[in-house]
Amino acid sequence: MELSKRILVTGGSGFLGSHLCERLLEEGNEVLCVDNFYTGTKNNILHLLDNPFFESIRHDVTFPLYLEVDEIYNLACPASPIHYQHDPVQTTKTSVHGAINMLGLAKRIKAKIFQASTSEVYGDPEVHPQTEKYWGKVNPIGLRSCYDEGKRCAETLFFDYYRQHSIRIKVARIFNTYGPRMHPNDGRVVSNFIVQALRNKPITVYGSGKQTRSFCFVDDLIDAFVKFMQSDDHLIGPINLGNPAECSILYLAEKIIDIIGSKSMIEMKPLPSDDPKQRKPDITVAKKELNWEPNISLDDGLNKTIEYFDKMLFVSN
């Protein structure tokens, strides 16, 4: 039986972070959740606060942190365009200064550290599906650059700390993920469509709606996080984590309307700047090295997510 660990999760009250904290506690670990609550919310971790092995710390990762832990999951950074474009300078600082501070901590205490990178490092890709060897096509001065280039720089820092200081790193490139605890106003396509459909409001589809995404349910992704962190130290990544089942944005809108039985109509709007036309992970490495692939279907995942938002909206009304 594996001994329990003391694990730090930055961004621990966010969508992915709260699910990760929950999973790590279920596996018998002690969890320190660090968050400045800029986009995360205490509502996501309220059910964990009575657990004696869980601790919540209000802290901004752009400032150093001094703790003693065995492992670090660095998830801190706004992940939706609405949030990360609100204060783009702070977004870049969170990715870059946050990475420097967490890597410095890992170096000092000799902890293994996981970086939540993103498929956004591929930009608007010219290669489809995207493999880890693809370097990407990113606009360095666009509206999304604070997030895209911040995450790219964080990957650079992780690999330089690995080469220069022999830090044990794990770098995951996360593709579109959805599920309960998404922020209802984060501007991401699944939460947008579900909230609009539940309210019978027009569903806003940008561009032609033919642009594609691949949607991974949160439980599948958290499985991959844990498997990756538990893998041998030689496996450092970057590794694509996501669901290769691709669908158009228009198809997703129509499916959500159908599941909910909504009266919503679809409203077309201009495509935002630098919005990728295609996004699909090649997960060959994850399948081979982690023996992982998603197993929750889009229909099952959407039903669980719709149920969450339906309850949330009912309570707020």
pLDDT per residue as tens digits for the range 24-53: 999 999 999 999 988 888 999 999 999 999
pLDDT reported for residue 279: 84
Band of the pLDDT at 16, cuts 50, 70, 90? very high
Cβ contact 216:175 at 8 Å: yes
Has residue 314 got a pLDDT over 90? no
Active-site pick, 73, 122, 147, 178: 147
Has residue 123 got a pLDDT over 80? yes
Band of the pLDDT at 70, cuts 50, 70, 90? very high
Share of residues in the chain with pLDDT > 90 (%): 77
Q: How many CB atoms lie within 10 A of CB 127?
A: 14
Has residue 189 got a pLDDT over 70? yes
Has residue 1 got a pLDDT over 70? no
Has residue 209 got a pLDDT over 60? yes
Has residue 293 got a pLDDT over 80? yes
Which whole number is the average pLDDT over 198-216?
91
Is 122 among the catalytic positions? Answer: no
Nearest to 203 by CA among 251, 272, 243: 251
Q: Which CATH number among 3.40.50.720, 3.40.50.620, 1.10.10.10, 3.40.47.10 corresponds to the domain 6-182+216-242+280-295?
A: 3.40.50.720
